[in-house]
Amino acid sequence: MNWSAPDLTQHPPRSARVRLGGYVILPRMLDKGRATLIGKQGDYKYACPLDQRFLEFAGIDPEALRKELNKSDSEVLTWIQAHATKRSEAEIEAWSCWQERRAPGDHESRAFFTKLHADAAPGREDVYTWFDLLDIDDFASYGGRP
């Protein structure tokens, strides 16, 4: 059993805002993947559409990455850096900042976002981005009051 695999039936994965190697999303995806390996992923999905944003940017295959999840974050990052599409620190920073600010862009995604927002945090007027929504949903899902 992997000592670093979180039990996502008891608490959420790390926020999508947390960075590893400059990448947002990555630590959250690692938590979900490791939890999946031990059957403790709860409602979370490894390689979900959010994870796909990182995987596509980095040029990493989710199944190849899955094979590395028994390693520490720093070891996984070293593997990613060796196998990912080569990006400068500035490119990674710009991509991560863009992901942090990403909000629903079209009518369909706005309607979906609005429904999730209403379910997770009715009355909250400070939820603008997908990361805002993920953070508040994680908090509310584990007993917090939004």
d(CA 101, CA 108): 18
pLDDT tens-digit readout, 135-144: 999 998 887 7
State the residue for tokens 């400059």: 22
Q: pLDDT (tens digit, 9 = 90+) per residue, 14-33?
A: 999 999 999 999 999 999 99
Q: Tens digit of pLDDT for each residue in 83-109?
A: 999 999 999 999 999 999 999 988 889
**Angstrom distance (rounded) from CA 141 to CA 144:** 7
Provide the residue ranges of all domains of the chain, joining segments of one domain with +. Answer: 1-101, 103-146
> Percent of the chain scored above 90 by pLDDT?
84
Mean pLDDT, all residues of the chain: 93
Average pLDDT over residues 50-73: 97
In this structure, is the dihedral angle defined by the CA atoms of residues 111, 112, 118 and 121, taken in order, positive or negative? negative
Beta bridge partners of 20: 23
In Å, what is the CA distance from 92 to each residue of 4, 24, 68? Answer: 26, 9, 21
